[in-house]
Structure 1
Amino acid sequence: MRIARWKHRGAEHEGIVHEGRMIAFADDTTTAGLLEAGLDAALAAGERLVGAADGSEPALGDVRLLAPLDPPTIRDFVAFEEHVEGVSVSVDGVGGVPDSWYRYPTFYFTNPHSVLGPDEAVTPPATEALDFELEVAAVIGAPPRGGVDLTAAEGARAIFGYTIMNDWSARDVQAREMQVRLGPAKGKDFGTALGPWIVSADEVSDLIDDEGFLALELEARINGERVGYDLLSNMGWPFGELVAYASRNTRVVPGDVLGSGTAGNGGCLGELWGRHGVRTPPPLVEGDEVTLDVERLGTLTGRVGCSRPVPDIPPARSRPRVRTR
């Protein structure tokens, strides 16, 4: 099952994509409601929806796809060792993979208020090092035991489906921010693209091996030219373990999005810059088109728009450090 949201004749809809047709949910059914109900209930609802379709539904080519959901949170992991090897040079100026990377699957929270859909233009900050990131994201459904302190097996069962994710990144802004020993902020929170739809977990289950790794083929192209390709199963941890770690001492809830982190072998320009020692291929500029293809999940294309003027923030002022008024 493929769950999507779209715009058609000025109105927004959500529903499923079936044999090239867009079948809108009936009654009060919503994407959020199906995620909360869980995968089995959603698949049953999808079958009923297909059975009630009458052929008058709009074709996929006649609608404008939107981001498939409004996630309450977006956790973005860094689960590909090869990506860390390359990008750490271009961002931090230091090569290699830190020992701490191997112990636990690290992630950061990014901005759910700047989610972009298919073919939507990103509005980056002022940057000379704009980049994309080729990722797959797991979407949480109805997690066992309320989503708290899950085991890896429970984490895997909590996954409703998958979508493609592009974590747009301004590498020069990111490098400056991370000198403060905190995660990236304005270097990344201006745009995270998701889409083209949510593919239910059952559609890729045959590609999961005995350890839980999902072997989907990934490809990234800039203006039609391939710059990267990888297998999702090259992650250091399978998705079930990412979900379990995310749920430690807190919880994951329906609609949460967990990104795999950037694929290796050209899953972003920053990795290639680190390996080459120069910015080749060059940073993205206005008008560039980035296309991410993931086996069985579809294609997510995004365009680079123009930066817009923003109010200036002055540097920190020297303070006297007095302790009383």
Structure 2
Amino acid sequence: MKLSTFEVKTSLGSAQRIGLVLFPPGSDPNTQAPTLVDLNAAYAWMLLEAGQKPCPQRWADFLFPADMRAFLELGEPALDAAREVEQRFLAVLKNSQPEDLWGGAGQRLAFARHEVTLKTPVPNPKMMRDFLSFEVHTANGFKRRNEPIPDAWYKMPVYYKGNPHTLIGHDEPVMWPSYTRIFDYELELACIIGKQGKNITAEKAADYIVGYAIMNDFSARDIQKHEMMCRLGPAKGKDFCTAVGPWLVTADEIKNPRDLRMIARINGEVWSDGNAGTSHWTFEQMIEHVSKEEWIYPGDILGSGTVGFGCGLELDRWPQAGDTLELEITGLGILRNQILQP
């Protein structure tokens, strides 16, 4: 199941909704435009049609708020209801176009891709952490400083805490920070936490992952270098923007998150090509480490860190203003952003 946060235009301005991303059966998600089903409106319509529950809109408002984090906090009951909508609308859309589907009180039930603006799947996570889990990427970074990987890196999955307020989604522009001369991309896999927990063992950690998405951890390399010379950060070298998207793919759709091809294209040219399974640390180990005497919450985002040779720093090639960045990961789609000069 693919879950999204999107905006639609109304007579009162833009409205944020959470929805299902549906593709025609057998189609290629990387070339076929999806349909976005408004979960709230679709569920209310289903209940009204079935006539099984009173006040169908109130049930829909409870299970499908406009905020993805609030939805994930409801846990399995809300996810199960979303699966009901998915099964119903896979059948409905075989014989109908999105613009023809209307519910009660003049509500649109579904939208064509060009009618909506995709946002990052979880726009307001409580916390975003990004790890350094790929040995090749780590080794390349220390090699530039003529240093070996420190022994401590092999003893715990280290991470920094990013800025959850500067997340963007698919096709949203990323602004080149006014204070940097060296802009970079980073090809990463992200997992999204689905339930609250503390002191979680690696053996049980998979139960806390609701799904996965693509992450582009944009970097201001010159600023990052100066910050980390002081043994602190990164901060301004990273916090200006991070892209996560294009949607959240639930964990049950990803057969093996340790075998996902990861590709980065700059203006259509492949710069990076790796695999998620080459990471030294797994998401389960990351969750165990993070949750030691510390709570994790639904909607929290964990980034894998950059796959080997997954950024310009390792390639000594640098994206420029005006470039289009496309990150693709098996089963997760394509995350595209253009760099804009402020």
Instruction: Check whether TM > 0.5.
Output: yes
Q: 1:105–1:237: 8 Å Cα contact kept in structure 2?
A: yes
Q: Which of 67, 73, 83 in structure 2 is aligned with 1:36?
A: 73
Q: 1:123 aligns with which of 169, 172, 175?
A: 175
Equivalent AA in structure 2 for residue 124 of structure 1: W
- Partners of 1:207 and 1:6 lie apart in 2 by 28
Report the counterpart of residue 71 of structure 1 in structure 2.
125
2:7 is the counterpart of 1:7: yes
Do the aligned residues in 2 keep the contact of 1:220 with 1:228 (CA within 8 Å)?
yes
- For residue 289 of structure 1, what is the aligned residue in structure 2? 324
Q: Which residue of 2 aligns with 1:178?
A: 228
Whether 2:95 is the aligned partner of 1:46: answer no
Deviation of 1:89 after TM superposition, in Å, equals: 4.1
Other structure's SS at 1:76 match: strand
Q: Which amino acid aligns with 2:329?
A: V
Asked if structure 1 preserves the Cα contact closer than 8 Å seen for 2:176 and 2:321, the reply is no
Identity, % of aligned pairs?
A: 38
CA distance in 2, matches of 1:242, 1:41: 27
- Structure 2 portions without partners, runs of 5+: 24-33, 41-59, 102-109
The equivalent position to 1:141 in structure 2, one of 182, 194, 216, is: 194
Change (3 A) 1:165 1:72: same
Structure 2 CA distance for aligned equivalents of residues 33 and 244 of structure 1: 24
CA contact (8 A) 1:85 1:271 kept: no
> What whole-Å deviation, never above 9, does each CA across 1:137-156 have from its counterpart, x for those lacking one?
1100014xxx1111002222
**Deviation of residue 47 (structure 1)?**
2.4
- 1:99 is the counterpart of 2:151: yes
| Matched position secondary structure for 1:291 | strand
Q: Note if contact 2:6-2:18 (Cα within 8 Å) is conserved in structure 1.
A: yes
Match of 1:195 among 245, 248, 253: 245
Matched, 1:303 2:331: no
Query: Which among 104, 108, 111 is matched to residue 160 of structure 2?
Result: 108
| Cα distance between partner residues in 1 of 2:170 and 2:272 | 20
CA distance in 2, matches of 1:153, 1:62: 43
- 1:246 corresponds in structure 2 to 290
The residue type paired with residue 215 of structure 1 is D
Equivalent in the alignment of 1:234: 278
* CA distance in structure 1 between the partners assigned to 2:327 and 2:147 by the alignment: 27
Per the TM alignment, residue 52 of structure 1 is displaced from its structure 2 partner at its CA by 5.2
Question: What residue number does 1:22 align with?
Answer: 36
User: Could you tell me how far apart the structure 2 residues matched to 1:259 and 1:160 are?
Assistant: 14
Q: Measure how far apart 1:43 and its partner are.
A: 3.7
Q: In structure 1, what is the Cα distance between the partners aligned to 2:146 and 2:296?
A: 34
Distance in 1, Cα, partners of 2:314 & 2:135: 11
| Amino acid across the alignment from 2:140 | G
The equivalent residue for 2:136 is: 82
- In the alignment, residue 185 of structure 1 is paired with which amino acid? A
Q: State the one-letter code of the partner of 2:77.
A: A
Q: What SS is found at the alignment partner of 2:231?
A: coil
Q: Displacement of 1:183 after TM fit?
A: 2.0
Instruction: Report deviation, 1:51.
Output: 4.9
Give the secondary structure class of the aligned counterpart of 2:133.
coil
Q: 5+ unaligned residues in a row in structure 1: which ranges?
A: 209-213, 274-280, 308-325
- The residue number in structure 1 matching 2:30 is none
SS of the residue 1:58 aligns to = strand
Deviations 1:46-87 (A, max 9, x none): 222235545422122432211111211100000000001112
Partners of 2:261 and 2:329 within 8 A in 1: yes
Query: How many residues in Structure 1 have an aligned counterpart in Structure 2?
Result: 286
Write out aligned runs for 1:271-286 (5 A).
Answer: 271-273=314-316, 281=317, 283-286=318-321
Q: Alignment partner of 1:184: what SS?
A: coil
Name which of structure 1's ranges 22-31 and 78-87 shifts more when overlaid on structure 2: 22-31
- Asked whether the equivalents of residues 37 and 141 of structure 1 are also in contact (C-alpha less than 8 Å), the reply is no
Match of 1:207 among 233, 247, 256: 256
Counterpart of 1:269 in structure 2: which amino acid?
Answer: G
Give distance in 1, aligned partners of 2:337 and 2:324: 6
Match of 1:220 among 244, 252, 264: 264
Distance in 2, matches of 1:251 and 1:105, equals 17
**SS in structure 1 opposite 2:299?**
coil
SS at match of 1:207: coil
Deviation for aligned residue 1:37: 2.9
Query: Residues 253-264 of structure 1 correspond to what in structure 2 (within 5 A)?
Result: 253-264=297-308
Letter in 2 for 1:49: V
Q: Is the 8 A contact 2:69 2:125 kept in 1?
A: no
Q: Which amino acid aligns with 1:106?
A: V
Partner amino acid for 2:168?
L
Residue 21 of structure 2 contacts residue 35 of structure 2 at CA under 8 Å; is this kept in 1? yes
